[in-house]
């Protein structure tokens, strides 16, 4: 059986990550590809509990270092319990956020130590790099106006969200082979078409064997820069 592919959706608040991750999973299923929709932080029972600790409004919110470490604890559990077992079983995994959010929010926008942040991510993912990442790009005000799921991050000021957007743009520039920047403005249908066009080359491989080639590639591109 060929291994599944791992696709992640990233972007600022309200960019359309949840919408387009879901629509992409539906498109995969329509083509007969087994697919699993998941999200971060979260994606399995323990990680969902950690998500609530991080994102819910509380009197004693985690300090930035605690936020980074809690996210990586949730991620390690999600990778080992869900992502890797599904991929090994031939299921495609589509995640609404993954580690590029940690790089954008905790490392760039909160200014945490880049060496430590990248090392903590590597430790948490244990080699589970996405095959492709879609970054949905949208001006901050438009995203906040779309009213996605409200959480603690949305209370941050405009400058914070602007820094997150710029971080995603620079991450996309760092890894153009694997990260696809998609304009998230316009209607859901317009964005859906752009996403499908972007991921079309991966869809052509759906159902074909050939994960050896992916294993080779992960060796080549497998480190965070």
Ligand X SMILES: Nc1ncnc2c1ncn2[C@@H]1O[C@H](COP(=O)(O)OP(=O)(O)OP(=O)(O)O)[C@@H](O)[C@H]1O
Asked if 145 and 14 touch (Cβ cutoff 8 Å), the reply is yes
What HEC string does 174-187 produce?
A: HCCCCEEEEECCCC
The SS3 call for residue 197 is helix
Interface region with Mg ion, contact rule CB under 5 A, candidates 11-19, 73-81, 154-162, 203-211: 11-19
Q: Which residue, chain included where needed, has tokens 């993954």?
A: 98
165 vs 172: CA distance, rounded Å = 11
Mark residues 91-130: x for contact with Mg ion by CB under 5 A, - for none: ----------------------------------------
**Would you count residue 187 as binding ligand X (CB under 6 A)?**
yes
Q: Is 18 an interacting residue with respect to Mg ion (CB under 5 A)?
A: yes
**Nearest approach, Cβ of residue 18 and Mg ion (Å):** 3
Closer to ligand X by CB, 6 or 168: give it. Answer: 168
CB-wise, 53 or 206, nearer to ligand X? 53
Nearer to ligand X by Cβ, of 151 and 218: the residue is: 151
DSSP 120-143: HHHHHHTT---SEEEEEE--HHHH
Tokens found for residue 44: 């399995």
Say whether residue 191 binds ligand X (CB under 6 A): yes
- Residue 106 in the binding site for ligand X (CB under 6 A): no
Name the binder of 14 from Mg ion, ligand X, none, CB < 5-8 A by kind: ligand X
Under DSSP, the state recorded for 224 is -
Dihedral Cα 115, 121, 122, 127, nearest 10 deg: -160
Which residues 124-163 are close enough to bind ligand X by CB under 6 A?
146-149
Residue closest to ligand X (Cβ): 148
Work out the burial of residue 73: count CB atoms within 10 Å of its CB; fewer than 13 is exposed, 13-18 middle, 19 or more buried: middle
How big is the site for ligand X, counted in residues (CB under 6 A)? 16
Does position 13 bind ligand X by CB under 6 A? yes
28's enclosing H/E stretch is: helix 17-30
Question: By CB under 6 A, is residue 188 in contact with ligand X?
Answer: yes
Query: Which residues in the 129-148 window bind Mg ion by CB under 5 A?
Result: 148
**Residue 105: half-sphere exposure toward Cβ, Cα within 13 Å:** 22
Q: Which is nearer to ligand X, 90 or 148 (CB)?
A: 148
Contact residues for ligand X (CB under 6 A)?
11, 13-19, 146-149, 186-188, 191
Contact residues for Mg ion (CB under 5 A)?
18, 148
């Amino acid at each position: 059986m060929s291994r599944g592919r791992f696709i992640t959706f990233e972007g600022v608040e309200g960019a359309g990550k949840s919408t387009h991750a879901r629509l992409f999973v539906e498109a995969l299923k329509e083509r007969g590809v087994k697919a699993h929709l998941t999200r971060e932080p979260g994606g399995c029972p323990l990680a969902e509990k950690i998500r609530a600790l991080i994102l819910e409004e509380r009197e004693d919110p985690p300090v930035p270092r605690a936020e980074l470490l809690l996210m990586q604890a949730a991620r390690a559990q999600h990778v080992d319990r869900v992502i890797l077992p599904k991929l090994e079983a031939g299921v495609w995994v589509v995640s609404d956020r993954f580690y590029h959010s940690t790089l954008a929010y905790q490392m760039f926008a909160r200014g945490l130590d880049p060496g430590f942040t990248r090392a903590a991510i590597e430790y948490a993912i244990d080699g589970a790099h996405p095959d492709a990442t879609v970054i949905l790009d949208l001006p901050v005000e438009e995203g906040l106006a779309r009213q996605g799921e409200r959480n603690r991050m949305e209370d941050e000021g405009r400058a914070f969200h602007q820094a997150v957007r710029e971080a995603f743009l620079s991450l996309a520039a760092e890894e153009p082979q694997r990260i696809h920047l998609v304009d998230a403005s316009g209607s859901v249908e317009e964005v859906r078409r752009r996403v499908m066009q972007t991921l079309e080359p991966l869809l052509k491989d759906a159902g074909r064997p050939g994960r050896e080639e992916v294993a080779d590639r992960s060796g080549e591109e497998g480190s965070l820069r």
